[in-house]
Amino acid sequence: MLSKMSIDTIRTLVMDSVERAKSGHPGTAMALAPAMYAYWQFTMYYNPADPFWPGRDRFILSGGHASILLYATVFLAGVKDIENGQVVDRPALTLEDLKNFRRFESRTPGHPEYGLTAGVEITTGPLGQGCSSAVGMAMAERWLATHYGRPGFDLFGYHITSFCGDGDIMEGVAAEAASLAGHLKLGNLTWVYDSNRISIEGSTDVTFTENVAMRFESYGWQVLEVADGNDVPAICEALKQGREETSRPTLIILRTIIGYGAPGKAGTASAHGEPLGMEELAGAKKAYGWPEDAPHFTVPDGVQEHFEALAGQRGARAQAEWEARFAEYCARYPKEGDELRHIFAGTLPEGWETELPVYPADEKGLASRQSSGEVLNAVASQFPWLVGGAADLAPSTKTLIKGARSVQAPSNMVQEGAGYDGRNMHFGVREHAMAAICNGLALSGLRPFCAGFLIFSDYMKPAIRLAALMHLPVIYVFTHDSIGVGEDGPTHQPIEQLAQFRSMPGLTMLRPADANEVVESWRVAMQHRAGPVALALTRQNLPTLDRTRYASAEGVARGGYVLADCEGEPEILLMASGSEVSLVVGVYERLKAEGVRARVVSMPSFDLFESQDSAYRDTVLPPSVRRRVGVEMASGFGWDRYVGLDGVVIAMNSFGESGAAAELMAKFGFTVDSVYEQARQLLQKAD
């Protein structure tokens, strides 16, 4: 009786919240209430009194449109709030928060937002992202358990469960992630697939008639089916089987009726994305046997206490046992214990930068992808939980950690000694899933990087955007950053990608000019905890600038800095990022020899430069100097803020062409002679 009342309480809170908001998605939440109850009450190890407990199970509501299902459960379970990273003695959500569902500045937004509401493990909404990031969480758990496990000390063994729906399963990113999860034999992962066979346009019969069970079996998953979404014992049994299967991830196909109980809307698309309406709402409550005179947002006596007695007490006992075990572990293994404390706190290990190289001046120089690979390995030697890989491009992006093993299931002996605690992750040609998986790795405390060609960042952008929304410290290593790619042609020559990333709030984009700017870019990336960082690196060699003659590369930390200067106020400013900096240095030297007062400004990061105060920006780019040239082998979009109305932007206005890099640079005007002529024309103009 109490179980049914608890499930119906979730359902009625869902309906009342959506109705009061006059918007939302009640149907899925109504259908999944029994599964949510079964999972939280009988399966999940989670202590509501400490939502940050490292040993907790992770729950991901991939269909974030059903957010009210999670909010109602967080409220009923009594999850405590988080403030400034610490648990505080007040509820994460109150009944008043449910009444403010979807309202401005509420703690119950339309889709779950990580960092806003305790109990929300990840921001979800774009379909496929949540369940794909759950694969990253599962990989992180296996890494932690294998790397830090010692005889008698199984600190990690938590399970990751994602509720997903037809839309998630249709998305390509979920297919990519599921394929990799099957290959890696992630037995700590369960997806509960809410198969209600309804999408916004109606029955999924219009678009989605494949055999999902067979697809996932071919991926190497255990596939279970529960025929009735209201059968709590059957759901519990399937979840139990998923947890007990340690050599395969599990897909539970749960047959549900969207909008269950609503007399006219159950099983229809109209139950998906709009309030039921008062008549349907009343009819659904009647079907549940809910008291007809009960006011909206009623929580019957005993329901919250029921959650506390089951989910709460089980989680509290598990955490107490874990903490005692962890204390003994730290006493026995102090080095490993200290590393884990850093992981839990998200802090850098002591001495992480001690091996960073310093590059001498070299006219031939290095491709910035090459120097980046060297810096990555220098950092990795002092940073054990820095892990990552590429979308089948590690040899080209130079992102292999030398001497480290690959991340593989122990039975996948492609590489001798490979295991779950390897540091080189092979994502295959799955750029989108790679980025989503890195979000899960970061949310689990590891420090992930992933790599690919800059042009293929387009395949990753939805997951990168979520990393920026969640302020996750993921590092993206993008190489082949311009028409310098050459013969591969316009399909591989990025043009608009730099502008796209510079326009993304929360993402820091860095395009270093030489090997020493690469070092400083990695220093910035490793120290940056407030969001993701992307590096744009070259395929072609870049001269290593003589830092005894030009300014220190430490200026990278400020985004833009004076690299080469003159006596007095400059007559002209020459600005560039990346490979084009050495080009404008060549122009500077020619103008300087002619007696022109010129200044070179290296602009590795618009984002960091804009974060500086106006006094510093004006020192670098004096407002009184109106003759300005900006040079970048990409779209010129965004450079206007720095060159002004009187300046010139030398940039790309097409998708490039196939040909040798030198030929392309000559055609599109990226030579010392061409930029010099543009600068000379500006100097000849009257003030």
Residues 649 and 629: their CA atoms lie apart, in Å, by 6
Tell me the average pLDDT across 517-528.
Answer: 98
pLDDT digits (tens, 9 = 90+) for 162-196: 999 999 999 999 999 999 999 999 999 999 999 99
Tell me the average pLDDT across 412-440.
Answer: 91
Tell me the average pLDDT across 149-154.
Answer: 95
pTM: 0.98
Provide φ and ψ at 36, rounded to 5°. Answer: -65, -45
CB 513 within 8 A of CB 578: yes
| pLDDT confidence band for 417 (50 / 70 / 90) | confident
Residues 439 and 464: their CA atoms lie apart, in Å, by 8
Residue 605 has pLDDT above 70, yes or no: yes
Tell me the average pLDDT across 360-384.
Answer: 98
Tell me the average pLDDT across 201-217.
Answer: 97
Q: Which helix (H) or strand (E) holds 524?
A: helix 515-527
Q: Is 520 among the catalytic positions?
A: no
Cα atoms in the 13 Å half-sphere on the side-chain side of 89:
0
Q: Which two tokens stand for residue 52?
A: 């940050």
In degrees, rounded to 5, the angle at the alpha carbon of residue 237 between the alpha carbons of residues 235 and 243 is 105
Other beta carbons within 10 angstroms of residue 246's beta carbon come to 10
Tell me the average pLDDT across 251-255.
Answer: 98
The string of DSSP codes covering 565-596 is --SSS-SEEEEE-TTHHHHHHHHHHHHHHTT-
- Write the CA distances from 254 to 44, 111, 231, 258, 346, integer angstroms: 18, 22, 10, 12, 37
Residue 269 has pLDDT above 70, yes or no: yes
pLDDT at 686: 65
Dihedral sign, CA of 569, 573, 575, 579?
A: negative
Provide φ and ψ at 203, rounded to 5°. Answer: -65, 140
Cα atoms in the 13 Å half-sphere on the side-chain side of 245:
23
Tell me the average pLDDT across 57-63.
Answer: 98
Selection from 76, 79, 44, 48 nearest residue 59 by Cα: 44
pLDDT digits (tens, 9 = 90+) for 10-49: 999 999 999 999 999 999 999 999 999 999 999 999 999 9
Q: Which two tokens stand for residue 100?
A: 């403010």
Give residue 634's region: left, alpha or beta (phi > 0; psi -120 to 50).
beta
Residue 274 has pLDDT above 70, yes or no: yes
Residues 360 and 408: their CA atoms lie apart, in Å, by 39
pLDDT at 412: 75
pLDDT digits (tens, 9 = 90+) for 546-584: 999 999 999 999 999 999 999 999 999 999 999 999 999
CB 230 within 8 A of CB 29: no
Residues 543 and 96: their CA atoms lie apart, in Å, by 62
Residues 11 and 73: their CA atoms lie apart, in Å, by 10
| pLDDT confidence band for 414 (50 / 70 / 90) | low
Residues 176 and 181: their CA atoms lie apart, in Å, by 9
pLDDT at 413: 60
pLDDT at 411: 82
Query: What is the average pLDDT value for the chain, to the nearest integer?
Result: 97
Residues 183 and 416: their CA atoms lie apart, in Å, by 17
Residue 399: strand pairing partners: none
| pLDDT confidence band for 418 (50 / 70 / 90) | confident
Residue 415 has pLDDT above 70, yes or no: no
- Write the CA distances from 41 to 37, 390, 529, 673, integer angstroms: 6, 39, 35, 72
| Terminal Cα-to-Cα distance of the chain (whole angstroms) | 85
pLDDT digits (tens, 9 = 90+) for 591-603: 999 999 999 999 9
Burial of 73 (C-beta count, 10 Å sphere; 0-12/13-18/19+) = buried
| pLDDT confidence band for 1 (50 / 70 / 90) | confident
Per residue, what are the HEC states of 595-628? CCCEEEEECCCHHHHHCCCHHHHHHHCCCCCCCE
pLDDT at 183: 97
Q: How many residues does the chain have?
A: 687
Provide φ and ψ at 633, rounded to 5°. Answer: -80, 60
CB 174 within 8 A of CB 132: yes
Cα atoms in the 13 Å half-sphere on the side-chain side of 249:
35
pLDDT at 685: 84
Per residue, what are the HEC states of 362-392? EEEEEEHHHHHHHHHHHHHCCCCCEEEEECC
Kindly name the residue from 121, 141, 336, 431 that is annotated as catalytic.
Answer: 431
| pLDDT confidence band for 88 (50 / 70 / 90) | very high
Dihedral sign, CA of 660, 662, 666, 669?
A: positive
